[in-house]
Amino acid sequence: MYIKSLTLKNFRNYEEQSLTFDEKTNVFQGNNAQGKTNLLEALYLFSMGKSFRTNQDADLIRFGESYTKASLTFCDRNRKHTLEIIILRDKKKQIKINGLTISRLGELMGHLNVVLFYPEELGLVKEGPHVRRRFMDVALSQLRPGYYHTLGQYHRVVDQRNKLIKRIRMAGSADLSDTMFVWNEQLAALGMELMHYREEFMGRLGVLAAKAHFEASGEKLTLVYKPRFESKEAFLEKLESGFERELEQGYTLHGPHREDFEIFINDKEAKTFGSQGQQRSAVLSLKLAQADLLFEEYGEYPVLLLDDIMSELDQNRRSYLAGRIPDKQVFITCTELDALLHGGKIFNVSSGKAVLQ
Ligand SMILES: Nc1ncnc2c1ncn2[C@@H]1O[C@H](COP(=O)(O)OP(=O)(O)OP(=O)(O)O)[C@@H](O)[C@H]1O
Ligand SMILES: [Mg+2]
């Protein structure tokens, strides 16, 4: 699939902007703080319905303005689609797919698929579990829109259960245990569903990531994901036996919201033993595998958004990447043009204006 055009009104530092893209390579070049990443952020918004940099939609509204409106057209192998997003301060954002307003964000998932690589994501290997969980959640939501729905329900149950734990702590009463039983059942049922999704996903991702990684570096990459519980019964048992500790801590301690996966390079844990370059490579391999998996699933390659990748990767890895992308649509930001980025369209970005070179 490829993105045909983007129109922005009051988005970040863009007052008004209309762009038509190349079906393959698009480069946003410019100095720091001019609005390159803002453009990738706008494109990403149409894939996940939210930014990758902020949870506050209002941050996307240009300073001093009351709303932002963005629209985008893209083509998949069937047809052209139009997406539109309007964000007002303190209001629920409005999203339209081909002119029809959707009522739940989940309806957007799986339409426009993008895979993003940006500098902060180097933390995927070395930072805490929440970063890897977010990776699984974002990738799986695109791959399986049902996952996004279940995840939302699961988080609501965790919230409710946490409130109940706090109430029991305050009241010190056992009267609420019937209610807790109901939440436990739901937590375990939804949790098992999420873990099944993750298990299948991580298995397939592991194969593709190992392949990409070996091609790029000759090293062996292994992803290890183990669901926290083997069965719903085991999950429920832990909720029973571990409840005292949950009361002490004041929140839900067990389930997919606490999971993680491990990354090994040549059988050594990458988080602890990997060099910076190896960690970077591993992230790139994971991202390429994410894209390959979307291709396996939909028969169409997602759009790649590569933020500042040229300054993050060494020559070998850049060449490998460049070799992988020629027949796909990519958006690349950079401060300096690179010889690897030839063909396609180059946009010069300066003070919230992008101009075709
Ligand atoms: N809501 C907003 N309204 C107006 N301007 C904003 C808003 N949010 C961010 N900006 C401005 O956008 C600019 C940053 O844009 P962006 O992150 O796209 O830069 P960049 O070109 O990617 O820079 P770098 O090369 O440093 O990554 C900043 O100068 C910031 O002040
Ligand atoms: Mg940037």
Same-domain pairing of 293 and 316? no
Distance of CA 347 from the midpoint of ligand 2 (Å): 14
95 lies in the same domain as 175: no
Buried b (16+ CB within 10 A) or exposed e, 76-104: eeeeebebbbbbeeeeebebebeeeeeee
Strand order, beta sheet including 221-224: 221-224, 262-265, 268-269
Domain that holds residue 310: 1-113+300-357
For ligand 1, atom 4, the nearest C-alpha belongs to 13
SS3 of residue 267 by DSSP: coil
Q: What is the mean pLDDT of residues 242-262?
A: 95
What's the structural domain count of the chain? 2
Label the pairing between strands 25-29 and 330-334. parallel
Cut 0.75: pTM above it: yes
**Residues 181, 267: one domain?**
yes
Considering every ligand atom, which ligand is closest to the CA of 38? Answer: 1
Here the CATH number for the domain that contains residue 280 is 1.20.1050.90
Same domain? For 337 and 292 the reply is no
Taking residues 4-29, report their average pLDDT.
97
Which of these three, 277, 299, 321, is where a domain ends? 299
Q: Tell whether the model's pLDDT for residue 289 goes beyond 90.
A: yes
How far apart CA 119 and CA 128 sit, in angstroms, is 16
Q: Whose CA is nearest to atom 27 of ligand 1?
A: 32
Is residue 239 domain-shared with residue 268, that is, in the same domain? yes
* Among the bound ligands, the one closest to the CA of 87: 1
Q: Are the C-beta atoms of 124 and 131 separated by less than 8 Å?
A: yes
Name the strand (E) or helix (H) holding 235.
helix 232-241
Q: 202 and 57, same structural domain?
A: no
Tell me the C-alpha distance between 141 and 106, whole Å.
8
Is 293 in the same domain as 305?
Answer: no
Q: What is the 27 CA–ligand 2 centroid distance (Å)?
A: 13
Would you place residue 174 in the very low, low, confident or very high pLDDT band (cuts 50, 70, 90)?
low
- Rounded distance between C-alpha atoms, residue 292 and residue 210, angstroms: 12
Cα(308) to ligand 1 centroid in Å equals 14
- For residue 44, the CA-to-ligand 1 centroid distance in Å is 16
Band the pLDDT of 79: cuts 50, 70, 90.
Answer: very high
Task: Identify whether residues 168 and 270 lie together within a single domain.
Answer: yes
Angle of helix 177-217 relative to helix 129-143, nearest 10 degrees, comes to 90
Between the CA of 330 and the centroid of ligand 1 the distance, in Å, is 21
The residues facing 80 across adjacent strands are 75
170 pLDDT exceeds 90?
no
Other CB atoms within 10 Å distance of the CB of residue 220: 13
Average pLDDT score over residue span 65-93 = 96
* 79 and 209 part of one domain: no
Residue 222 — pLDDT band, cuts 50, 70, 90? very high
The arithmetic mean of pLDDT across residues 219-223, rounded, is 97
- Which residue's CA is the nearest one to ligand 1's atom 5? 13
- Give the CA distances from residue 220 to residues 12, 199, 209, 285, in Å, rounded to whole numbers and listed in that order: 41, 21, 10, 11
For residue 221, the Cα-to-chain-centroid distance in whole angstroms is 21
What share of the chain in percent tops pLDDT 90?
83
> Which CATH number covers residue 60?
3.40.50.300
User: In sequence order, what DSSP letters do the residues of 19-60 get, joined into one string?
Assistant: EE--SSEEEEE-STTSSHHHHHHHHHHHHHSS-SS-S-GGGG
Residue of 12, 88, 308 to test ligand 1 pocket, by largest number of atoms within 8 Å of CB: 12
Q: What is the pLDDT of residue 32?
A: 97
Partners of 117 in beta bridges: 306
Same domain assignment for residues 294 and 306: no
Q: What is the pLDDT of residues 302-319, one digit of tens each?
A: 999 999 887 777 788 888
Cα of 166 from ligand 2 centre, angstroms: 42
For all residues of the chain together, what is the average pLDDT?
A: 94
Q: Which amino acid would we find at residue 315?
A: Q
Kindly tell me if the per-residue pLDDT of 340 is higher than 80.
no
Can you tell me which atom of ligand 1 is nearest the CA of 333?
22
pLDDT of residue 173: 64
Task: Identify the weakest region by mean pLDDT among 187-196, 225-234, 304-313.
Answer: 304-313
CA of 24 relative to ligand 1 center, distance in Å? 25
Residues 147 and 223 in one domain: yes
Residues in contact with 342: Cβ distance below 8 Å, sequence separation at least 6, in sequence order: 25
pLDDT for position 271 = 94
| Closest of 45, 59, 62 to residue 10, by C-alpha | 62
Judged by average pLDDT, the poorest of 48-57, 120-129, 158-167, 192-201 is 120-129
Angle, helix 177-217 to helix 232-241, in steps of 10 degrees: 120
- For ligand 2, a single-atom ion, the residues with CB < 5 A are 37
Measured from CB, residues less than 6 Å from any atom of ligand 1 are 12-13, 30, 32-38, 59, 61-63, 333, 335
Percent of the chain whose predicted confidence (pLDDT) is above 70: 98
Residue nearest to atom 2 of ligand 1 (CA): 12
Could you tell me if 329 and 26 are in contact, meaning their C-beta atoms sit under 8 angstroms apart?
yes
pLDDT at 339 over 80: no
Closest residue (by CA) to atom 17 of ligand 1? 37
Residues in the chain: 357
> Is 276 found in the same domain as 230?
yes
